[in-house]
A = this chain, B = another copy of it.
Amino acid sequence: MALIVQKYGGTSVGNTERIKNVARRVAEFCKRGDQVVVVVSAMSGVTDGLIKLAREITDLPSEREMDMLLATGEQQTIALTAIALHAAGVPAVSLTGAQAGIVTDGVHTKAKIQNITPAAVHRMLDAGNVVIVAGFQGQTEAGQITTLGRGGSDLTAIALAAALKADLCQIYTDVDGVYTADPRIVPTAKKLSEIAYDEMLELAGSGAKVMQLRSVEFAKKFKVVFEVRSSLNENPGTIVKEETTSMEGVVVRGISLDKNQAKVTLFGVPDQPGRAARIFRALGDAAINVDMIVQNVSHAGGKPVTDLSFTADKSDLPKARRVIEELQKELGIREVQADENIGKLSIVGVGMRSHSGVAAKMFDVLAREGVNIEMISTSEIKISVVIDLAKGESAMRALHEAFIG
Contact = CB atoms under 8 A, between A and B. Distances in A.
A277 to B, nearest CB: 38
B65 A19 contact: no
Work out how many copies of this chain go into the complex: 2
A38 to B, nearest CB: 13
A265 interface: no
Contacts of A72: 72, 75-76
B86 A62 contact: yes
A54 B80 contact: yes
Given A50-B76, A57-B19, A82 B62 contact: yes
Contacts of A82: 62, 65, 68
A41 interface: no
B68 A78 contact: yes
Contact of A79 (B56, B68, B96, B99): B68
Contact of A75 (B57, B68, B120): B68
Contacts of A145: 96
Interface string A24-67: 00000000000000000000000000100110111001101110
Interface string A77-89: 0111011101100
Contact of A57 (B58, B66, B80, B120): B80
Given A56-B16, A99-B143, A86 B68 contact: no
Given A53-B16, A86-B58, A64 B93 contact: yes
Nearest to A83: B61
Interface in A159-201: none
Interface in A135-169: 143, 145
Interface of A: 16, 19-20, 50, 53-54, 56-58, 61-62, 64-66, 68-69, 71-72, 75-76, 78-80, 82-84, 86-87, 93-94, 96, 99, 120, 143, 145
